[in-house]
Amino acid sequence: MTLPLLSTEELGLRVEKRTLLKNLSISLNQGTFVAVTGPSGSGKTTLLRTLAGALTPAEGKVISNLDSNKSLAMIFQDLQLADGATAINNVLGGSLGRHSFLSTMFRFPAKERKEAYHLLAKFKLSGKTNQWTSTLSRGERQRVAACRTLLTKPHLLFADEPVSSLDPILAEEVLSHLKSSILSRNGCLVCSLHNDEQVAQFADIAIILDATEPNGWKLESLKENIK
Amino acid sequence: MKTELPWHSKFDLLGVTFILFILGSFSSLLAIEGSGRDLDYIGNLLRFTGQFFPPDWSIIDRTVEGLLETVQIALVSTLLAIIISIILSICAAGTIAPFWLLWPTRMLLNMIRTIPSLLWALLAVVIVGSNPLAGVIALTFYSVGYLAKFFSETFEAANTDAQKALRSLGASPLQAFQFGLWPNARPIIWSHCLWMLEYNVRSASIIGYVGAGGIGLHLKLYAESADSWNKFSLVLLCILFIVTILDLTGEKIRKSIRDKLDGKPSGT
């Protein structure tokens, strides 16, 4: 049996004095799509950021079985794009971890550029590659941020509401691209979502958080073949 | 229910400095005095300005040559200043440089700014002689004082989210600066550079007065020889022409940069 990519033991989360979550023990296994749902303020973002290692847990621990932290990446809720850079250059930012400063100083390697164009086209942004991200709509910026993170080629991807500004049809397409590119690498995708239909359609497991009761979280298996 | 603000709530920092400014200006009036002699101010003015007209167009060739040199001095010195300023501004930006580097750099920039451009020109003429090189040296130093300050403020104010995001996605600190922070700061920095170029064309027109090349030398000659005010006025007209063109194009470029950053579509 293969080890989970990441697991938690008795994880507890606190923001300032407020306890959001208690005693969460889960495993993030290869080949699964995990949805995190719950009302606003229930701690979805805090949970994702803690799992991604950006925050330290208040209680319990996060155990990572990843080879190096390069195979973990996050799509941020507030996107965090460089406004004065073109869409393509923002996406190429995802490849920086694979190259030295000098090799990307003037131009990105042709292979990376090709891949970045390919990703943007997949996300229906091929007409906007050379536009400054400040001139793109929120939905377009959201897809640029997704492309940037995908270019890091993560095995474990945390996506914080990656489709919140997209219409349902586009949202579905983006989610299925995210899912197929992570699962083709036999990785794991953890995605916070607000839409129950999307959860039912894509997720294998759902972590449902409760805004009032830290112990009130539920783990729901949505697909028969997943434990 | 209507709640009245207390009377002193109007006296915030802005209000107090405004009152201090008004008080200061009025009390300074006492220090301003004329010669005390009974002079015909209006008559003097009319007689003097009368000599400016009509401008003497016979010297236009020489003037254009001088102007060209002036613009060249401004271009070269602005370029040099931009290069030096980018390095210095990183050392003077509170969000990037360590404390021990920050304050010495800021002090250095303060000292550079204290010296007016004409004095830099005098210094440069003393060192390299009376030629355009002196002008380039003078304006480079002068511009660095301002540009490095503007640049460092731009770096401090720029949005650092993308820089942090890239770090978390595996980029090195230098790469995160180049692709995360620099793109956000670059448009503002470029607009400061344009402003400095405009400013340097103006400055380059006057530093010739002390021998640092450019059109200023012509101004000095005409001002000092008798009956040459009509030539002087032609030179002024030409400077006005150049400066206006720069001002208009600079403003247009700056506006398009602002629009683009605010998310308005480009090309309009």
Cβ of A135 within 8 Å of Cβ of B172? The answer is no
Which pLDDT value is given to residue B268?
37
Q: Nearest CA to B78 among B142, B149, B150, B151?
A: B142
Asked if residue B162 belongs to a domain, the reply is yes
Q: Report the length, in residues, of chain B.
A: 268
Question: A interface mutation test: which of B154, B164, B166, B169 has the most A CBs within 10 A?
Answer: B169
Reply yes or no on whether the pLDDT at B232 is more than 90: no
State the pairing for strand pair A18-24/A6-15: antiparallel
Q: Chain A: nearest CA to B112, how far in angstroms?
A: 31
pLDDT digits (tens, 9 = 90+) for A153-170: 888 899 999 988 888 888
For residue B178, give both structure tokens.
């180049």
Q: Give phi and psi for A74, each to the nearest 5.
A: -135, 140
CB distance from B252 to chain A under 8 Å?
no
Range picked from A3-17, B1-15, B112-126, B208-222 for highest mean pLDDT: B112-126
Asked if residue B266 belongs to a domain, the reply is no
Give me the residue label for tokens 């790469």: B175
Asked if residue B37 belongs to a domain, the reply is no
Which pLDDT value is given to residue A68?
64
Cβ of B171 within 8 Å of Cβ of A96? The answer is yes
Domains and CATH numbers, chain A: 1-66+155-227 (3.40.50.300), 82-152 (no CATH)
Q: Percentage of chain A surpassing pLDDT 70?
A: 96
Q: Chain B: nearest CA to A16, how far in angstroms?
A: 22
pLDDT digits (tens, 9 = 90+) for B172-225: 888 998 999 999 888 889 889 988 998 898 888 888 888 888 888 888 888 888
Contacts of A94 in chain B (CB under 8 A): 169
Which pLDDT value is given to residue B80?
95
Range of the domain at B236: 56-261
Reply yes or no on whether the pLDDT at B78 is more than 90: yes
Run of H or E including A197: helix A196-202
Contacts of A108 in chain B (CB under 8 A): none
Which pLDDT value is given to residue A89?
92
Asked if residue B16 belongs to a domain, the reply is no
Asked if residue B9 belongs to a domain, the reply is no
Cβ of B178 within 8 Å of Cβ of A152? The answer is no
Report the residue from B161, B168, B183 with minimal CB separation from A85. B183
We report the CATH number of the domain holding residue B209 as 1.10.3720.10
Reply yes or no on whether the pLDDT at B267 is more than 60: no
Which pLDDT value is given to residue A227?
43
Asked if residue B42 belongs to a domain, the reply is no
Chain B residue nearest residue A157, CA to CA: B169
Q: Chain A: nearest CA to B151, how far in angstroms?
A: 16
Asked if residue B180 belongs to a domain, the reply is yes
pTM over 0.80: no
Helix %, strand %, coil % for chain A, to 5?
A: 35, 25, 40
- Dihedral in degrees, nearest 10, Cα atoms B93, B99, B102, B107: 140
Give me the residue label for tokens 């007689």: B47
Cβ of A78 within 8 Å of Cβ of B260? The answer is no
Residue B241 burial (C-beta neighbours within 10 Å; 0-12, 13-18, 19+): exposed
Asked if residue B205 belongs to a domain, the reply is yes
The count of structural domains within chain B is: 1
